[in-house]
Amino acid sequence: MIFESITELGLSGVYAIRFRRHLDKRGYFVETFRKSQFRVPPLDRHFVGSEFLQCNESFSLAGTIRGLHFQWNPAMGKLVRTVHGHMVDLVADIRPDSATVGKIIAHDMPESRESLEWIWVPPGFAHGNFFLADTRIEYMCTGEHNPECEAGISPFAADLDWGACDSAIKDAFEALRRTELITDKDRQAMSVREWLADSRTRNFRSREPEPV
């Protein structure tokens, strides 16, 4: 398992991690994850001492939008990949003391025969995706799901900052604005302003408090 590239995606700590598949006339072989290989800079500060506690698989029809979801108690980081189809992954910074709070990135992750790509979404970020084909994805989580400690930002919130996103990807998202393949819970979730006024933001600080 040899990394082809490790790329930070415009939000501190969010990485695209790509490596080659071993191809031959029969097809391909790939290790989808080996923990020791993730103990290299800059990933080591996220994965040394971390443990994946839950692995999920999701299938979505073309035109589906999911998210933007986040959880505290326990905080949850996610390692996400496309197994089959075409996903665009969405990550928004919701940490109230972050310089990039309210900023969203959209990372295009179509299925590829030649390489495999993960996106690492650390705790402290809201996560979602939309799908340009019928798609199956897999994601590993550093915390177990706790429905009592989760909330969401609407992907349609007018105060999300899409300025760092590729215009073609943003246009593909806008084309789905009237989709019925989104839950009411996700569509009607909070705006960034509503979230920043919520007392639960104390669980999402980007920096440790100064010593007294």
Q: Which residue has the tokens 């979801």?
A: 69
Choice among 15, 46, 139, 145 that is catalytic: 139
In whole angstroms, give the CA distance from residue 37 to residue 4.
12
Q: Are 91 and 11 in contact (CB under 8 A)?
A: yes
84 catalytic? Reply is: no
69 catalytic? Reply is: yes
User: Please, what's the b/e burial string for 109-138 (b: 16 or more CB within 10 A of its CB; e: otherwise)?
Assistant: bebeeeebbbbbbbbbbbbbbbbbeebebb
Element (DSSP H or E) covering residue 23: strand 22-24
Strands 135-141 and 78-84 come out as antiparallel
Choice among 69, 84, 127, 145 that is catalytic: 69
In whole angstroms, give the CA distance from residue 129 to residue 13.
18
Q: How many CB atoms lie within 10 A of CB 143?
A: 19
71 burial class (0-12, 13-18, 19+ CB within 10 angstroms)?
Answer: buried
Catalytically annotated residues? 69, 139
